[in-house]
Amino acid sequence: MVFVLVALVTAVFSWVIGFFVRRLAPALDAVDHPTVGRKIHTRPIPLLGGVAPFLATALVLIAYALFSGQIGLPTLTDTHIATKHIIGVAIAALVLIVGGFFDDRYSLKPWQQLIAPFVAIGIVIASGIGVSELSHPFGGPPIKLETSNILLFWWNGLPRYFTLWSDVITILWLLGMMYTTKLLDGLDGLVSGMTVIGSLTIGLLSILFFVNIPTALLAFVVAGAFFGFLPHNMHPAKIFLGEGGSLLAGFLLGVLSIMSGAKFATALLVLGIPILDAVWVILRRVCIEKRSPFVGDRGHLHYRLLDAGLSHRAAVFLLLAIASTFGSAALFLQTQQKLLALGVLAILMIILVSVLIKNEQRSMGERDPFTRT
């Protein structure tokens, strides 16, 4: 009940803050104007929506840290998580929000957009968060990521090291999660809904099987923050997450999966369809179309669902239903079974995309009979 209550309080905070951000964004000229191409909204929509779940999460965690011990509740740093970890995640999240504001306001170049994510990842690693081991895919003992440490600097009397394999995997994982949710942010409420499902799955997993109470609490707070933002973000959206918010969603999911014990397979099952879609889109742009992967188009799965005739909400609910199904399965599957489920998910993705492409080709042929083969 404590987790549910904390999540509900965070949701209310996020919902209330959302109203203020909706007024603030136009005043700062952080607005997404409709243009010809892949954008589907027909009127200017405020950006900076990620500020609402960020502030709600920060406020609740600060309040909980100050008063939980006084009223007999488990504290954030009882086990598994140190104070420096919480501070590191908070500062990194702030970096993403600030970087996202500059992109929303000034439309940064692709290489400039990479600055905030890499700085945020560096802060998290410097705070001591990283992947120390991986579950063995065939049921053996965990794979330790121990290697020689490289001393980088001293901070507060303590050494800070670069641990090769641990830090490389952490960088790749967090970067991949952030850009998955960034590329997914094309339909109203989709990324927010995915973040709610993903964080709840990690939270329940932490409670039921690994007794990792601080991570579970963080996960429920994140779920509440994005759930409270959903009324502002569902179709027709009154505000978008913006660059910072879409990156923040993937960042928090990535950090939670590391803190819960490198539960990568669980996160992959929830975000499996978007991740596979992102990989396919990037490979298509680079290898087939020979162009930059950073230039958007309507080749994403969620746009294809709209082109196939689904309504905006129906497309979102379909993708959220798939994520919920595989996320629920992750609660009861072992590592080997999760890998099998990932294979099923990949097959489902291939079938879905193939059907949609065939449908598009059939529609084009019906519109122009000379293109039929």
- What phi and psi values does residue 277 have, to the nearest 5 degrees? -65, -45
Give mean pLDDT, residues 203-207: 86
pLDDT higher at 134 or 66: 66
Please state, for a pLDDT cut of 70, what percent of the chain lies above it.
Answer: 80
| DSSP codes joined into one string, 135-147 | --TTS-S-EE---
CB burial of residue 77 (10 Å; 0-12, 13-18, 19+): middle
| Residue 145: partners with Cβ closer than 8 Å, 6 or more residues away | 131, 132, 133, 134, 163, 165, 166, 169
Instruction: Tell me how crowded residue 113 is: count the other CB atoms within 10 A of its CB.
Output: 19
Q: Say which residue, 289 or 239, is predicted with more confidence.
A: 239
The mean pLDDT of the chain is 83
Tokens of 142: 């965990």
pLDDT on residue 372: 37
Give the model's confidence band at 27: pLDDT under 50 very low, under 70 low, under 90 confident, else very high.
very high
Most confident of 63-77, 125-139, 167-181, 324-338: 167-181
Tell me the one-letter amino acid at 212: N
For the cut 90, the answer to whether the pLDDT of residue 67 exceeds it is no
pLDDT of residue 373: 33
Share of the chain above pLDDT 90, in %: 38
pLDDT of residue 176: 92
Rounded Cα distance, 198 and 328, in Å? 10
Task: Please spell the DSSP secondary structure of 70-89, one letter per residue.
Answer: GGTPPPTTSSS--HHHHHHH
β-sheet bridge partners, residue 162: 150
Question: What confidence score (pLDDT) does residue 143 get?
Answer: 58
Query: Which of 133-137, 147-151, 258-262, 332-336 comes out lowest in average pLDDT?
Result: 147-151
Helices within 185-235 (DSSP H only) = 190-208, 213-233
Q: Tell me the C-alpha distance between 244 and 88, whole Å.
A: 17
Average pLDDT over residues 181-196: 92
